[in-house]
Amino acid sequence: MNESHALTTLTDEERQFQETIRAFAEERVRPLVEKMDEEQKLDPALVGGVFDLGVMGIEIPQELGGAGASFFMSILAIEELSKVDPSVAALVDVQNTLVNNALLRWATKEQKRRYFPKLAKDTVGAYALSEPASGSDAFALTTRATLDGDDYRLNGRKLWITNGAEAGLFVLHATVDPAKGYRGITTFLVERSFPGFTVGKKENKLGIRASSTCELILEDCRVPRENVLGEIGQGYKVAIETLNEGRIGIGAQMVGLATGAWRAALAYAKERKQFGQPIAEFQAVQHDLARMAIDVESARLMVYNAARLREANLPFLKEGAMAKYHCSQVAERVASLAVEIFGGYGFTKDFPVEKFFRDSKIGKIYEGTSNVQLNTIAKEILK
């Protein structure tokens, strides 16, 4: 069995970056959380704010308008934002770990020159893989791309696309030849303004409600041949490698969520009095808080370790899947306990733990369900 490596120390630069994101989350995001959740929409000024903060292009090279920073810093940003609102973190997560990462690895110099300055400055990106009949079976795609002169014509539907309402650029997967199976899949850079492209229904969700999740409709959508990302028929590689990294981002989102729920429960337990003393004085509550703290710390270490391995160009597939699986379990468990510690108040929308609990469920579902992660882990340990 390949043993994990514990590469988790933060540098001074990373700590300073973390503190900057933490302050932004407290000052700019927290006052808007309840309103955005109720309206199921990110505040446009806040979307502009994350661009101004520089966290929508963390790994984009400085000469192309980005911060020229590290993948690990993306993970820190996602974690800190999730402590306050996982919906805002989802916006930043998809932009950095999926969209920007896909372009960093697969885009031509011209594609990078064309799109990176926009992605760093003001253009939200989205990653479009899932379809009505293609979820865990990610490559059962029916969206078809047909070459027509200098353009491809794309026809089909995409479903469950995060950032769909805000995005101006979509990393979209379609098949050029269904007979070739996964070897026919090709990745395209699709601009929202392309003829034949429409953003359809926005889903009414249980959690991360401010984060848009939309249907995409392609009806003879014309995409220039130069907007193929990578090579024809290599879209499965783009998808697999990008999602492997994206799972670390979901782990960070769930760690941040669990931390936020745990901190809220800890503060409440110190204030709430029953039988003449704070409930934090009761051993049963102390044990719950201790278990929550252990869960959060173990989850954070797993995420940081997977991110460091990726950054060091070391194998991280197993560690990334483990982090995503474990952190999603932790987030749901910790958020649930937080609701219980709040008692009746925790069941209302007047306190933050109710939202953390709703938000936590998606961690076991998107970017690979828990069962998919277990399959990946099993394959790796049996090698």
Residues serving a catalytic function are 367
- Which residues are 202's β-sheet partners? 214
DSSP type of residue 6: -
Tokens of 372: 């998919």
Cα torsion angle, 44, 49, 52, 54, sign: negative
Residue 224 has a CB neighbour count (10 Å cut-off) of 13
Helix/strand/coil percent split, the chain, to 5: 60, 15, 25
Nearest CA among 75, 55, 18, 97 for reference residue 252: 75
Q: How many residues are given for the chain?
A: 383
Report which residue type is found at 29.
V
- Please say whether the beta carbons of 370 and 293 come within 8 A: no
- What distance in Å separates the CA atoms of residue 368 and residue 370, rounded to the nearest whole number? 7
Tokens 């400055």 locate to: 121
- Please say whether the beta carbons of 59 and 119 come within 8 A: no
Tokens 């502009």 locate to: 48
20 to 17, 55, 58, 82, 142: CA distances (angstroms):
5, 11, 14, 14, 43
CA 60 to chain centre: 17
Contacts of 297 (CB under 8 A, 6+ apart): none
- Which residues are 198's β-sheet partners? 217
DSSP type of residue 344: G
- What distance in Å separates the CA atoms of residue 264 and residue 231, rounded to the nearest whole number? 48
- What distance in Å separates the CA atoms of residue 368 and residue 250, rounded to the nearest whole number? 10
